[in-house]
Amino acid sequence: METQNRGLKSYLFGDKAFYKAVFAIVVPIIIQNLITSFVSLLDNVMVGQLGTAQMSGVAIANQLIFIFNICIFGGISGASIYGAQFYGSGDYEGMRAAMRFKLYICLGIFAVGCVAFLGFDTPLIQLFLAEGEDAALVAETLKAGEDYLRILMVGLLPFAVAQAYTATLREAGETMLPMLGGVAAVVTNTVLNYALIFGKLGLPEMGVRGAAVATVISRYVELALIVAVTHLRRKRYFYFVGLYRTMKVPLLLVKRIVIRGLPLLANESLWSVGLSFLTQLYSLRGLDVIAGINIASTVTNLFNTISFAMGNAVAIMVGQALGADEVERAKKTSGRLITFGTLVAAGMALLLCVVSPYIPLLYNTTERVRTLATQFMLILALNMPLQAFGHCCYFTLRSGGKTIMTFIFDCMSVWVLSVPVVYALVHYTDMSIQWIYTICQLLNIIKCVFGFWLVKKGVWIHNITLETKEA
């Protein structure tokens, strides 16, 4: 029994050397995400000073941009699985080929995004505007969303390319440069937001359009910094040397990435559309609900930064262990990171509960919106440990290339569980939005049980770099 307990403890908790390696990877990511989330909160508050309609319009536009961003993440994820394992096996030409694939997929998703947003921006925003609302408020919200989205489109391509570079850097365990790029972007965004929204520092007062312009400029700043440093510091970032000598990607690798990457792209795309559809269902209970969810989700993202970083740690550390063909190290790394991420999320959830009544007071909005925001934050805090557990399970499954399994695990939980339940509750009951929101979050329990079973079963243990070598 004592031997079993020691084995379980070793699986769930690491030693000082393990956590030192974890912190070396996640601390820069946490800092980057923390600063980004904090600045997003500041941006949200600044836009919120313009009024509820403007804040709701920007929130709706950001739901559409969120789908694009997640599609980029899903599009490069298949190549990232190979990138991490190529690095672990010392195949740096393989890393460069995977990076080229990322650039191609980013260009493709960018083209699709442009067509969607240019041709269907107004009807897409109108999906979130419930009938029965004040006509003037609806018109003001629609205009704010259109103005914001049309300008923000200019920043889609630099965002996509920057994500391709960032993913490759992180696959090699390099998280400092992405952090610096993110810091440069958020500082630029914050200063320009203040100046362009309110007409400060000698710049024109542009309101919502100013917030969009600031975001676009910040994305170009981030891309310029990351690209310049990776290509100028050739010794440190040696795996980028020769990246553009050719833009060819070996056909076998393309085939392998597509086979594993398509389920990830489909998963992320459908998952993000599912979350936006849930928001659209919530919006049927009024624009106040959209404003409240916008405040709550923005604040909660700030408290989720560590949990999100743990997912990156799983992808990097487990992927590298599998690429080095060290199965036991991969198993222990996964178990320890899942445990650590869940415990940290529980602590952050308690902190969110404490501050939830006070942050909505920063917004220039109605008392009902503030009350809803506080209630939604408390509900999201309840869900944070579940979300962290599921997040780490997802990246464990993904690290071994089991992308069909991740599709079933992640995407289907939204479309098979959350969407039908929320749709039925919104359309066929008089249940309050608070209870509907709570039930939706608690459905994550089912997802976590399924994720635990998959991880424990070990279906994700697979060294995919051997496939290309053997072929």
Supply the pLDDT for residue 133: 62
Whether 470 shows a pLDDT value over 60: the answer reads: no
Closest-CA residue to 29 (of 160, 164, 170) = 170
Distance CA 38, CA 28 (A): 15
**Cα–Cα dist 195/198, whole Å:** 6
What are the start-end ranges of the H helices in 284-366? Answer: 287-303, 305-323, 327-355
**CA torsion through residues 128, 131, 137, 142, sign:** positive
CA pair distance 370, 9, nearest whole angstrom: 44
**Tens-digit pLDDT profile for residues 414-468:** 999 999 999 999 999 999 999 999 999 999 999 999 888 888 888 777 766 655 5
> At residue 1, does pLDDT exceed 60?
no
Check residue 268 and give its pLDDT: 80
At 409, is the pLDDT very low, low, confident or very high (cuts 50, 70, 90)? confident
**Which positions ≥6 away from 46 have C-beta within 8 Å?**
193, 194, 197, 198, 211
CB contact set of 29 (below 8 Å; sequence gap of 6+): 170, 175, 178, 179, 308, 309, 312, 313
Residue 471 has pLDDT above 70, yes or no: no
| Most confident region among 72-81, 301-310, 440-449 by mean pLDDT | 440-449
Which pLDDT score is estimated for 218?
92
Q: Which residue has the higher pLDDT, 1 or 166?
A: 166
Helix (H, G, I), strand (E, B) or coil at 404: helix
Place of tokens 């920057």: 162
Mean pLDDT of 177-186: 88
DSSP three-state, residue 206: coil
pLDDT per residue over 121-168, tens digit each?
899 888 888 665 677 888 898 999 999 999 999 999 999 999 999 999
| CA–CA–CA angle 465, 268, 270 (5° rounding) | 135
